[in-house]
Amino acid sequence: MNLLLYGAPGSGKGTQANMLREHFGIPHIATGDMLRAEIQAGTELGRKAQPILAAGQYVSDAIMIGIVRHRLGEPDCTPGFIMDGFPRTVPQAEALDDLMHELDKRFDRVIYLKVPVDDLLHRLSGRLVCPQCQRTYPPGTAACAADASVLVQREDDKPEAVRPRIEIYLEKTVPVLDHYRHGRLVSEIDGRGTIEEISSQVLTAVASKNGQPARAAHAAVKKQKA
């Protein structure tokens, strides 16, 4: 099972990826988390990436493609994976096509979490993150449910970085959706319900084979059960 989560900053990719990881027992490949781990470890890549992330800009395609190529070659990806945050540009999408072809893999579904910009701004400004395991939480959460760490704000959730992140998403990442729409792989989900409601729609969409809208697929499943 190879899944791709697509959506704007704050649309809930990480939140739903955690649910899918637990549900299917396959790794969550989050390029943003990988970059933040490099920054935390003080590697050369981390030192280069830190000011780029803090400004809400994108790390170069060549670097990102190299990171993903290496990660997808690791043995835990053999049964499947959940990709989050990549591809973010059309050249990244084209490189991922080539890589998937080389590895003889294909995506089973692309989940597009669609959330209006005002909601994104609200979510990002209040988001809390576990500095140890990177799980994200809504405002007001006291500690990480997994390891009890004190939660912090992500550097790029500060007001000066949030707008540039949305702008670069609109310019460079929105065209990536068309790349996958041609292959009828995309399930578009209104990402504004509760986390549990969205999770249920994501699971229904993953189970659908033909890219029909998640709500329609959900209704079809309910009808079958009745």
Catalytic residues: 13, 88, 127, 154, 165
* CA 5 and chain centroid, separation: 5
Question: 149 and 45 in contact (C-beta within 8 Å)?
Answer: no
Residue number with the shortest CB distance to ligand AP5? 32
Q: What sign does the dihedral 7-153-35-26 (CA atoms) show?
A: negative
The residue range among 49-57, 75-83, 203-211, 213-221 that interacts with ligand AP5, by the rule CB under 6 A, is 49-57
CA distance 80 to 74: 11
Min. distance of Cβ 152 from Mg ion in angstroms?
Answer: 15
Chain residues 127-186 in contact with ligand AP5, contact rule CB under 6 A: 127, 136-138, 156, 165
In degrees rounded to 5, what are phi and psi of residue 7? Answer: 165, 170
Min. distance of Cβ 123 from ligand AP5 in angstroms?
Answer: 4
Binding test (CB under 6 A) with ligand AP5, winner from 59, 72, 205, 217: 59
CA distance 153 to 71: 27
Describe the chain by its helix, strand, coil percentages, rounded to 5: 55, 15, 30
Q: If residue 104 lies in a helix (H) or strand (E), which one and from where to where?
A: none
64 binds ligand AP5 (CB under 6 A): yes
Compare residues 4 and 217 and give the one whose CB is closer to ligand AP5: 4
Min. distance of Cβ 128 from ligand AP5 in angstroms?
Answer: 7
Q: Report the interface residues with ligand AP5, using CB under 6 A.
A: 7, 9-15, 31-32, 35, 52-53, 56-59, 64, 85-86, 88, 92, 123, 127, 136-138, 156, 165, 191, 193-195, 198
